[in-house]
Amino acid sequence: MKNRTIGPMLKAILAAALFGASAPISKLLLGEISPTLMASFLYLGSGIGLYLQRYFRSSDKRFNDEARLTKNDWPWLIAAVSVGGIAAPIVLMFSLKNTPASTASLLLNFEGVATTVIAVLAFKEAVGKRIWMAVLLITTASILLSWDSSGQWGFSFGAIGVLSACILWGIDNNFTRNISSKDPLSIVIIKGLSAGTFSLILSVILGFPLPSFKSILLAMVLGYFSYGLSIVLFIRAMRELGSARTSALFGTAPFVGVVLSLLLFRENQGILFLFSLPIMIIGAVFLLKEDHEHLHKHETTEHEHRHNHNDSHHTHGHSDNGIPKNGYHSHVHEHEYIIHDHQHTPDIYHRHAH
């Protein structure tokens, strides 16, 4: 199982690195772009960039092996766009104006905690003691980072906003988990174009001035990498690892943001930051070391997703000759009833009850 999860784990870490760069670079661009417009250009950049990527790869069959979205997938996608594509980035952009970039980058780690709690409570995803310990550590660090140390009791408004955005993205991640077996490019293109267009229309209605063409282009390029490619990699990892574990690996994103923040802004860090950083790191380590193994059963089911025949879950033949097909491909197929015991994650084959 370890070898099988190396690929998805690397995808999640790369997704984290790309997203981690977004907070400090966005803060840099917020000097010229209003928060709502910034959210718009980030998502438009992801949608347009991935659409062009698909267009130029359309003739290559290696990139046409994903399952298409169906009418049953649209409610989940619309909900994900509304919560994570529209509300979350607007809340984050406004919060970044009142929060040090390095602090905001670390607070983004709370997205993994929110995703895990929602996955367990709402979608009954199984997690172990290590993950709950990580949740406790990261939550503690997030509270420390949120505290207003200026002499007044209470939490800073900007930090609370960043945490709110994380909760919204946690809801979005769990909605997207339910359609993660489908083509991630289609999911992110639709999310990017829909969310970006909505935020752009809202900005025009509110009368926000358009920035220079250079600023718009920079924001869209950042959106392509940090919101486009990052989310595609995140979805591909989530179909193999489940919401909680993928978000655990995604918890490395804030550390990328912190390094960039220190390089770009030379921000002075307080004592709470110094206490929070090692707590965050220990929490991320706990999240990475969780294993899961027990006797479980797979009910007979029929669905469509990208797969190959190199595992014990895809033993079906094909209608043309009854022989399993080589390489990755997608079609409607049936899984037979089976009971077995092995290490596994809550991937699209292992979302059973415990």
Low-confidence ranges of the chain (pLDDT < 50): 1-2, 151-154, 296, 342, 344, 350, 352, 354
Cβ atoms of 228 and 15 within 8 Å: the answer is no
Q: Quick one: which of 252, 247, 221, 266 has its CA closest to 102?
A: 266
Distance CA 216, CA 171 (A): 29
293-298/338-343 β-pairing: antiparallel
Provide the pLDDT for residue 6: 78
> Is 213 buried (19+), middle (13-18) or exposed (0-12) by CB count in 10 A?
exposed
Residue among 313, 317, 314 nearest 298 (CA)? 313
Instruction: Write down the pLDDT at residue 42.
Output: 93
C-alpha span between 240 and 237 (Å, rounded): 5
3-state SS record for the chain: CHHHHHHHHHHHHHHHHHHHCHHHHHHHHCCCCCHHHHHHHHHHHHHHHHHHHHHHHCCCHHHCCCECCCCCCHHHHHHHHHHHHHHHHHHHHHHHCCCCHHHHHHHCCHHHHHHHHHHHHHHCCCCCHHHHHHHHHHHHHHHHHHECCCCCCCECHHHHHHHHHHHHHHHHHHHHHCCCCECHHHHHHHHHHHHHHHHHHHHHHHCCCCCCHHHHHHHHHHHHHHHHHHHHHHHHHHHHHCHHHHHHHHCCHHHHHHHHHHHHHCCCCCHHHHHHHHHHHHHHHHHHCCCCEEEEEECCEEEEEEECCCCCCCCCCCCCCCCCCCCCEEEEEEECCEEEEEECCCCCCCCCCC
Given this model, what pLDDT does residue 328 score? 61
Report the Cα–Cα distance between both ends of the chain, in Å, rounded.
Answer: 20
Give residue 31's pLDDT. Answer: 78
Whole-number pLDDT of residue 82: 92
Q: What CA–CA distance (Å, rounded) separates 219 from 41?
A: 6
Q: Where are the domains of the chain?
A: 9-294, 300-336
pLDDT at 134: 77
Structure pTM? 0.72
Tell me the β-bridge partners of 147.
155
Q: What is the pLDDT of residues 78-120, one digit of tens each?
A: 999 999 888 998 898 888 877 877 677 777 778 878 888 888 8
